């Protein structure tokens, strides 16, 4: 089962989004804000209306975990390592994008450290 961490400044959004995604079959949990790698590393992270600073904070806390941002600003330029989920929120669309992103990550060759 995919562990999906939901991060948002608004606690209601975190909890609601995690609950909806759990009903779709994810092991979704609502994380604290600001991002801290408490409780292990998830398979993917869903950020709600994140700024570049929030993306950077999340990367600092969780490393290269696949990162998806739910945003109204989907037409703005985002770093290529960030997946974009267009708002308004649609749970099935989020699920498809998470699953597609994780499939693509798993296809990549493992990176070795030198």
The per-residue pLDDT for range 82-95, each reduced to its tens digit, is 888 889 988 898 88
Predicted TM-score of the model (pTM): 0.85
Token pair 């290269």 is found at 64
Question: How far is the C-alpha of 68 from the C-alpha of 99, rounded, in Å?
Answer: 11
Question: How far is the C-alpha of 47 from the C-alpha of 58, rounded, in Å?
Answer: 9
Q: How does pLDDT run along the chain (114 residues), one tens digit per residue? A: 889 999 999 999 999 999 999 999 999 999 988 788 777 889 999 999 888 888 999 999 898 899 999 999 878 888 888 888 889 988 898 889 888 888 888 887 765 444
Question: How far is the C-alpha of 91 from the C-alpha of 107, rounded, in Å?
Answer: 24
Q: Looking at the chain, how many residues does it have?
A: 114
Run of H or E residues at 67: strand 67-71
Contact assessment for residue 42 and residue 6, using Cβ atoms and an 8 Å cutoff? no
């Amino acid at each position: 089962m995919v562990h999906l961490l939901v991060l948002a400044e608004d606690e209601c959004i975190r909890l609601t989004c995690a609950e909806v995604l759990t009903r779709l079959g994810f092991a979704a949990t609502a994380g604290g804000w600001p991002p801290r790698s408490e409780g292990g590393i998830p398979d993917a992270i869903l950020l709600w209306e994140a700024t570049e600073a929030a993306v950077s904070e999340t990367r600092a806390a969780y490393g290269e975990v696949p990162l998806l941002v739910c945003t109204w600003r989907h037409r703005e330029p985002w770093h290529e390592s960030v997946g974009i989920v267009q708002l308004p929120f649609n749970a099935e669309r989020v699920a498809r994008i998470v699953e597609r992103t994780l499939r693509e990550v798993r296809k990549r060759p493992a990176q070795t450290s030198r």
